[in-house]
Chains A and B, each alone.
Chain A
Amino acid sequence: MPGPDKRMTEAEAVAELSSGMTVGIGGWGSRRKPMSIVREILRSDLTDLTIVAYGGPDVGLLCKTGKVRKVISGFVSLDSIPLEPFYRQARQDGTIEAAEWDEGMLLLGLTAAGWRVPFLPTRAGLGSDVPVEMPDLLTVKSPYAEPDSGEFETLLAVPALDLDVAFVHQNRADMSGNSVWLGEDPFFDDLFVRAAKKAYVSCESVVATEELAGLADVTHLKISRLDVAGVIEAPGGAHFTECPPDYGRDETFQKRYAATGKSEEDWEAFRTDFLDIDEQGYQAKVSELRRANS
């Protein structure tokens, strides 16, 4: 039997959010980010969000537009441009609260939430300033003796990252949320989905369920409809981040975005040109730019 039809628009998905919620965003840096959803959040009146991400321009844009109270991240970077200008500005101006975890800790926090356990232990973070600067991170003593020393080892207890909502972008999905990624790394999208009370998948195109297993080997069918509340068909939805093999990162556009960090006037122009318009208008502008540049 086919699963239920969960197709919806970005606006319908974002309407499920309320201010103060904890929102997870899939992808990694400037790679396969659900940017059409992020753009929709920018147009909303939401505030005080806690964002959990391996951050890229999603986090930068949400910080710049005043949507964020707190960012919990493994890093925030544009990859080809190492420092995200607006996250950096928000940190230096003190306009957001930050939790900067070791990259691997984020994987554990998301996994713990998905498994419905309060924490997962790790050695990562011990001895560094992560638990010093973020004293809400606590340690746990192993109940088992370490065999060689007989000691009961102390480990960092990474708290579960329980998300109200998660957004991820996949290459293809069916109308019920069974999804397939076609690049070389699933990143942590499946973990974000399981860590959330409600998860939404945007995708390059919605296909029939029987087509999914033919698009890649079955190990790429990483997200199941059981965990998905809504499916948004968003061709070009990850732009300007990469979404291989459908498209690479739009480096020209990313450079232009990053440069607006140096001039409020340029930012306002960027905002007017690309963010104060709807997704259809955005995609039309991007196509226009691409034609002009080619």
Chain B
Amino acid sequence: MNTSETTATRRADVCAVAIADCFAGDGERLCNPIGNLPLIGGRLAVATSEPHLALTDGFYTLIDNVPPVGMSEAERLENRIVAHWNPYREMFGLLWHGRRHVMMGATQIDRHGNQNLAAIGDWKQPKSQLLGFRGAPGNTINHTTSYWVPKHGPKVFVESVDVVSGVGYDRAAALGPVASRFHEIRRVVSNLAVMDFESDDSDGVAVMRLRSVHPGVSVDEVAEETGFDLVVEGEVPESRVPTAEELSMLDQVDPSGNRFKEVPDQ
């Protein structure tokens, strides 16, 4: 890679394609990213590599088009090709059936992929009440889940989460192979790197592994910003940079550049 290309690569775009790549191979199922960058990356996947994924309109329908993010309510309703009615009760039916890959945020996440978005401190009387468990328990035990962390740091990537809302691999293993047969935490994408769970600890339980570091980020930096020993196997590759087609699609999906506000260039 020459210097001019490196300079032109923007971190938020790298994050967006890393998020899009989480959905690779998913074929025909609901791509359900939650949050700003996840929405942009998820929609990029549908617009490029995985055209048969379905998206939601953010509320009560599944749509068969890829609208830009950041629209007003009126624009949202105008810019959707409704393919299916999907009120919340139907969403629960869909996710219990399993044809869904969700990407959620995480206030805390540990080496086995246990996620906390519920509360900080003791759940019974928390120091800080967060979102509660929301749909995280049901999502993680029923279908594929990935996570997005916009600010990779040791307070997010922790030795042990305060509350387990999203189920990680050790908790799933403890349930046994039948109860956990639909459980899959595929990736964790952050502003620094991409992590997966394609490595096992000494008990044979999947643990978080550094899959790639974003251009300009060192393996040591990621390790320092992670509150547990991240598995590093051999030479860690650099996260891939977007293609010209992806860059042009990103400008269509995110015309006002919301992604750069969430992930500024380093």
Contact = CB atoms under 8 A, between A and B. Distances in A.
B208 interface: no
A75 B131 contact: yes
A152 B85 CA distance: 35
Interface residues of A, number: 44
B130 A83 contact: yes
Interface residues of B, number: 48
Contact of B138 (A75, A82, A124, A132): A124
B61 A184 contact: yes
A74 B137 CA distance: 11
B96 A76 contact: no
Interface in A83-113: 83, 87-88, 91-94, 100-105, 107
Interface in B82-125: 85, 87-89, 92, 95-96, 118-119, 123-125
B59 A91 contact: no
Contacts of B130: 83
Interface stretch (A166-174, A185-193, A266-274): A185-193
Contact of A187 (B87, B128, B134, B140): B87
Interface of B: 59-61, 73, 85, 87-89, 92, 95-96, 118-119, 123-138, 140-142, 163-167, 171-172, 174-180, 182-183
Contacts of A132: 164
A154 B179 contact: yes
Given A128-B164, A129-B164, A28 B141 contact: no
Contacts of B125: 91-94
A127 interface: yes
A128 B87 contact: no
Contact of B171 (A94, A102, A128, A188): A128
Contacts of A83: 129-131
A126 B141 contact: yes
A127 B174 contact: yes
Contacts of A130: 133, 137
A28 B136 CA distance: 17
The 9 closest A-B pairs by CB, nearest first: A124-B138, A128-B137, A127-B167, A185-B87, A184-B60, A127-B171, A91-B129, A94-B125, A102-B137
A188 B88 CA distance: 8
A143 B15 CA distance: 47
A128 B178 contact: no
Contacts of B92: 103-104, 107
Contacts of A82: 131
18 contacts: A75-B132, A77-B131, A100-B118, A100-B123, A103-B133, A104-B135, A105-B138, A124-B96, A124-B142, A127-B137, A127-B164, A128-B141, A128-B166, A129-B165, A130-B133, A149-B178, A151-B178, A185-B59
B61 to A, nearest CB: 7
A28 B137 contact: no
Given A124-B96, A127-B140, 7 more contacts: A82-B131, A103-B133, A128-B141, A128-B166, A133-B163, A184-B60, A188-B89
Contacts of A105: 138
A47 interface: no
A210 interface: no
B89 A101 contact: no
A206 to B, nearest CB: 25
Nearest to A248: B73
A102 B136 contact: yes
A88 B129 contact: yes
B260 to A, nearest CB: 23
A105 B96 CA distance: 11
A151 to B, nearest CB: 5
B132 A100 contact: yes
B59 to A, nearest CB: 7
A123 interface: yes
A200 B240 CA distance: 57
Contact of B172 (A92, A127, A187): A127
A77 B118 CA distance: 12
B181 to A, nearest CB: 8
A146 B89 contact: no
Contacts of B89: 107, 186, 188
A82 B118 CA distance: 12
